[in-house]
Structure 1
Amino acid sequence: MAWFKRKEKGIQTSTEEKRDTPEGLWYKTPTGKIVDTEELAANFYVSPEDGYHVRVGSNEYFEILFDNNEFTELDENLTSKDPLKFEDKKKYPDRLKAAQKKTGLKDAVRTAVGKSKGKDLVVACMDFSFIGGSMGSVVGEKIARAADHSLKNNIPFLMISKSGGARMMEAALSLMQLAKTSSKLAQLAEAKIPYISLCTDPTTGGTTASFAMLGDINISEPGALIGFAGPRVVKDTTGKELPDGFQSAEFVLEHGFLDFITPRKELKDKVNLYLDLILNNNVR
């Protein structure tokens, strides 16, 4: 029975030399689909099997929208102060520093100007990874300054919203940003400069109550959560069962709050098609 016995050991790896499979090689969507991360990135971070749009940030949107990923960032070093001396479990300045270190961002929005299909475009994009995309004074100020850049240079403005709402650590100062940003968008409208609002997952709270719903055209990615208060709060407040798909982009479109939904891979084409139409450029 010698043929059942291993006379020489094959390649053996000691326990201390073994390594776990590196993290991040695969992504699992909410429907259970498994996607290779390289394939996901090549497909604009959209699952090819079920169309699920993975939540991404300003780096990815700038790469999608700007030609050759070339752009000039505006007010990139603007950071928040702590005028209220807010203290909870963690002091606000400490929380800001932790978020900046973790994300590599200064705050929850980045603004930039560049070419998109050869045309100048100002883009403001929120990052949910920075304190839940909460809107504080810096977010409002950067959006207002980006609108000023559009006004001064007669360049269309695209706002990409992704936010959990106002930043409680700045209290009333956070709420003031709703009026500030809305007034700047009114100036864009008066100057007849196009403003496009893109709602991504999630667009909630003060963003929905201000700039996210004030576009000349309001668009969204498929499946994005769009609303003011969350579904649980709405249900508890009204005491009623909510319909299927409540606050999804598709539900919001059906009820007239959106103009259309576009997959991420078509975003650049759709934005520029709209700009061509509204600016009466030649469209083939």
Structure 2
Amino acid sequence: MNWLTNFVPPKLRQLVVRDTPENLWLQCPNCSQMLFHRDLEKAHKVCTHCGHHMRLGAKERLALMFDDGAYTLADLPPVQSDPLRFRDQKRYVDRMKDAQSKTGLQDAVLVAEGTIGGMPAVAAAFAFEFMGGSMGIAVGDAILRAARLAVEKRAALIAIPASGGARMQEGILSLMQMPRTTVAVAEVREAGLPYIVVMTDPTTGGVSASFAMLGDIAISEPGAAIGFAGQRVIRETIRETLPEGFQRAEYLFAHGMLDMVVHRHEMRETLGRILGMLMHRVEAEDPIADELSTVLPDEDVQAPSIPAGADAAAKQE
């Protein structure tokens, strides 16, 4: 071996061969089609072959939802690092630090304000990439902050859950966020403001058992998994075969648990028209009015007339 074989080929290889990133192509989990990363980004992580909706980050979802992608993040209370000093295979403090460093987020929810279809709105978006979007004290604080910000700004509140449920590392403190978030929704309703839930994959556990199922309008992305307990747990408990498509958005819509299943690319426009209707700023001939007529109460409907003499007869009885 001489310097020609030891030195020249490696130098030539460095000039010709370049390192190729490993994430240029991604495989659709539904149809297994290989997708170029730039095409997938342009489609907002919706498969261009089968239409499968992949999970979207909280910041990406907020940019997609607000007008012109412009929004302002709200300040949230500081996160309690480890209220129960929990430890399993790893300390909870260390898990939190790892999640924060990987995602750049403080916890699993971002709260933002802006406009949707020209209407003021406050959105609380979950980040599933942060410990599975699990709900702990910080998430409860964020939902409560979002509700009070909506009341303060006279804006609609939009919750966008993507969660595996309560955060086990916070124990009973995590379960207490279920009534806290329910109270937050009640504050918005008492102020006469709309509360809309946009369910994404997945919406499960304590999140689905609290604020996620309390929306004035319940919307979901196609194919989203929605439910409380997992299918395996349900199947083993009732010892029966579950229906096809069970706990999927389309199944829930067919059985009256959802008001709409909306494609991600149409979500902003749909929300804008719904907010316009709920806040009395849209004309009656809007094409979405017929779809909402079965969901929203008709303020123009009058009580049925009582036949003459019926009132007197009722009093005599």
Deviates most, 51-60 or 29-38:
29-38
- Asked if structure 1 preserves the Cα contact closer than 8 Å seen for 2:120 and 2:154, the reply is no
Partner-residue secondary structure (3-state), 2:49: coil
Partner-residue secondary structure (3-state), 2:106: coil
- Asked if structure 2 preserves the Cα contact closer than 8 Å seen for 1:150 and 1:157, the reply is yes
1:174 is aligned to: 174
> What RMSD in Å do the two structures reach over aligned CA positions?
1.7
- Asked if structure 2 preserves the Cα contact closer than 8 Å seen for 1:162 and 1:203, the reply is yes
Q: Residues of 2 paired with 1:264 and 1:70: CA distance?
A: 18
Alignment-mate amino acid for residue 25 of structure 2: W
Alignment-mate amino acid for residue 14 of structure 1: R
CA positional deviation for 1:13: 4.8
Q: Residues of 1 paired with 2:12 and 2:211: CA distance?
A: 58
Q: Residues of 1 paired with 2:19 and 2:227: CA distance?
A: 41
CA positional deviation for 1:265: 0.2
- Asked if structure 2 preserves the Cα contact closer than 8 Å seen for 1:76 and 1:106, the reply is no
Partner-residue secondary structure (3-state), 1:163: coil
2:195 is aligned to: 195
Q: Residues of 2 paired with 1:182 and 1:50: CA distance?
A: 37
1:66 is aligned to: 66
Deviations 1:222-272 (A, max 9, x none): 000000011111111111111111111011111111001000000000111
CA positional deviation for 1:35: 1.7
CA positional deviation for 1:17: 7.1
- Matches for 1:1-284 after TM superposition, within 5 Å: 13-14=12-13, 18-30=17-29, 31-76=31-76, 78-283=78-283
Q: Residues of 2 paired with 1:278 and 1:68: CA distance?
A: 22
CA positional deviation for 1:50: 0.5
2:302 is aligned to: none
Q: Residues of 2 paired with 1:13 and 1:221: CA distance?
A: 50
Structure with more of its chain in strand, by fraction: 1
Q: Structure 2-normalised TM-score?
A: 0.82
2:301 is aligned to: none
Q: Residues of 1 paired with 2:12 and 2:33: CA distance?
A: 33
CA positional deviation for 1:34: 1.9
CA positional deviation for 1:78: 2.8
Partner-residue secondary structure (3-state), 1:203: coil
Partner-residue secondary structure (3-state), 1:202: coil
Q: Residues of 2 paired with 1:75 and 1:205: CA distance?
A: 27
Partner-residue secondary structure (3-state), 2:84: coil
Q: Residues of 2 paired with 1:94 and 1:33: CA distance?
A: 36
Q: Residues of 2 paired with 1:90 and 1:181: CA distance?
A: 29
Q: Residues of 2 paired with 1:197 and 1:189: CA distance?
A: 14
Alignment-mate amino acid for residue 132 of structure 1: G
Instruction: State the aligned residue count.
Output: 273
CA positional deviation for 1:76: 4.5
Q: Structure 1-normalised TM-score?
A: 0.92
Partner-residue secondary structure (3-state), 1:201: coil
Q: Residues of 2 paired with 1:282 and 1:143: CA distance?
A: 28
Deviates most, 158-167 or 18-27:
18-27
Deviates most, 180-189 or 27-36:
27-36
CA positional deviation for 1:151: 1.1
CA positional deviation for 1:16: 10
CA positional deviation for 1:18: 4.0
Unaligned 5+ segments in structure 2 are 1-10, 287-317
Alignment-mate amino acid for residue 108 of structure 1: A
Larger radius of gyration: 2
Partner-residue secondary structure (3-state), 2:162: strand
